[in-house]
Amino acid sequence: METTEKTNTAVRDLVIINNDRTEGYKTAATETKEADLKALFNRYSEQSMGFASELKQFITDADDMPKSDETKNTGKLYRVWMDVKAAITANNRKAVLSSCEFGEDKAKQTYDDVLKNTEGLASNIINIITKQKAELQKAHDEVKALRDSCK
C-alpha cells in the first residue's frame, strides 16, 4: 500500500472512531441528569472533536475525508451508545459508566490497530496518534474508576 494511501486509511479510521466517541458522549451528556457525568461526557465529546480535527490535517485525498458526522453506526460501538442511553433512562450510573468504558475500549483498540503497523506513517503522525492514545487511556481509566466506585 502506498504511504499516502496508508496514511489516509489509518487516519480516516481514527477520525471515524472519534466521531463515534463524540456522538456517543453527546448523547450521554444530553440524557444524564447527573451534573458530574454531564460535565465528564461533554469534556470527552469535545476531546474527540479536537482529536478528529487534529487528525484531519493529515488526510490528503478529499475522497478519504470522513464527513464530520460520519460514524460506524453499524458496529458494536453504536450499540454501546444506545446501551448508554437506555442505562441513563433507567438512571443506572454503573451501567452508563460500564457502557462508556466499553466504548473507550473500542476507541483504544482502533488506535492500537493503527499503532501496530506504523510502517509508512510519518513520525509526526505517529507522535500525534500516540499522544491521543495516551489521552484515551486516561479517559478510560477515569471512567473505569468512576464505574468501580458505584455501589
Q: What is the pLDDT of residues 93-102, one digit of tens each?
A: 888 888 888 8
Phi/psi-derived region of residue 3, left when phi > 0, alpha when psi is between -120 and 50, beta in every other case: alpha
Task: Quote the pLDDT of residue 1.
Answer: 43
Q: Which value, in Å, is the radius of gyration of the alpha carbons in the chain?
A: 16
**CATH code of domain 3-148:** 1.20.1260.10
Averages of pLDDT over each 10 residues, the chain, 151 residues: 71 89 85 91 96 89 58 54 67 83 90 93 95 97 96 78
Among residues 123, 111, 136, which one has the least CA distance to residue 11? 111
Task: Quote the pLDDT of residue 20.
Answer: 86
Task: Quote the pLDDT of residue 108.
Answer: 94
- Distances in Å between the Cα of 24 and the Cα atoms of 60, 93, 108 are 27, 16, 15
